[in-house]
Amino acid sequence: MSGSSTNFAIARQLKQVCDKVQAAAARRPQHLQYSVPRLVAVSKTKGTDLVIEAYNAGQRHFGENYVVELYEKSNDIEIQDHCKDIKWHFIGRLQRNKVPKILEVPNLFVIETVDSERLAKALNDGWGRLKKTETLQVMAQVNTSGEGNKNGCSPQDTTKLVQYIREKCPSISLIGLMTIGSFDHDLNNQDKKRELFSLCAVRKEVCDALNISEKDLELSMGMSADYEHAIEVGSTNVRVGSTIFGDRGPPHGKTAPAGASTDSGKDGSDANLLMNKMESLDLHHLAVN
């Protein structure tokens, strides 16, 4: 895997994904055509050189799912030099003790994974203390798969969480709902579409209850395996990683030391966490929290 051929591939893969995003957007029914879907390039585990390459190819929104990794990439000198207009999305599990750190991320565009009032309050209070002029954008993460070991608030509790953020958290703005959904690659297209529809249904319920226009509440859903379907049913924000950057295979080279814990939730040193994430990446959503 030589650097230059990898980089060339990224621009090409990015272009292909962008084309498919546009084509899927054009297939949407008329009432869903009010917005241009946003592509978030999920760069987790990938080096800063690849982020810069994608940025140079025109990509602006990037997603990361570990606080330490996002913190380090966003503060990286090269990225700061080359990617002035980068917009970071946090899409991983956020523990309240990591709130101060994530609020230090420059160019933080949105935290997509707010799944409890306690976390919303911690973000609101932390951001408030920083005395910024603008609010911090967040999304509420909803567990649409019904699997108990997934993160996200339950569909039934979503209205309450949205209402709490809107009424009790003046320093943060709720811009949408996010779901990770099922990672089951055996789902056929119809099953996938049905699962994607469940976030649409939650949005309708929330909007009806709180008298919000559905157009004012984004939907973040869809990943490499299903982003085109997600857009067709109304996603406004798709998070695509491996199709752009290549597989995040098992670690090799200078990665986790033998016996490193794969429990990303356990607080180790930052260096350890960085290493652990390499291993736990494609497994952490399956792990019991």
Ligand X SMILES: *Cc1c(COP(=O)(O)O)cnc(C)c1O
Beta strands in the chain (DSSP E): 38-42, 61-64, 87-90, 108-114, 136-141, 172-178, 218-220, 237-240
Lay out the site mask for ligand X across 94-133 (x = CB under 6 A, - = otherwise). ----------------------------------------
Binding residues among 49-68 for ligand X as defined by CB under 6 A: 65
Q: Pick between residue 63 and residue 155 the one whose CB is nearest to ligand X.
A: 63
- Determine the interface stretch with ligand X among 69-77, 114-122, 233-241, 254-262 (rule: CB under 6 A): 233-241
Torsion of CA 167, 172, 91, 76, to 10 degrees: -170
Measure CA of the first residue to CA of the last residue in the chain; give whole Å.
35
Strand partners, 63: 42, 89
State which residue, 42 or 275, has the beta carbon closest to ligand X.
42
The answer to whether residue 46 forms part of the interface with ligand X (CB under 6 A) is no
Q: Are strands 61-64 and 87-90 parallel, antiparallel or unpaired?
A: parallel
Q: Is 180 in the site for ligand X (CB under 6 A)?
A: yes
Query: What residues contact residue 163 under an 8 Å CB cut-off, 6+ apart?
Result: 209, 210
Binding residues with ligand X: total (CB under 6 A): 13
According to CB under 6 A, which one of 229, 239, 276, 277 is a site residue for ligand X?
Answer: 239
Residues that bind ligand X in the complex, under the rule CB under 6 A: 42, 44, 65, 91, 180, 223-225, 239-243
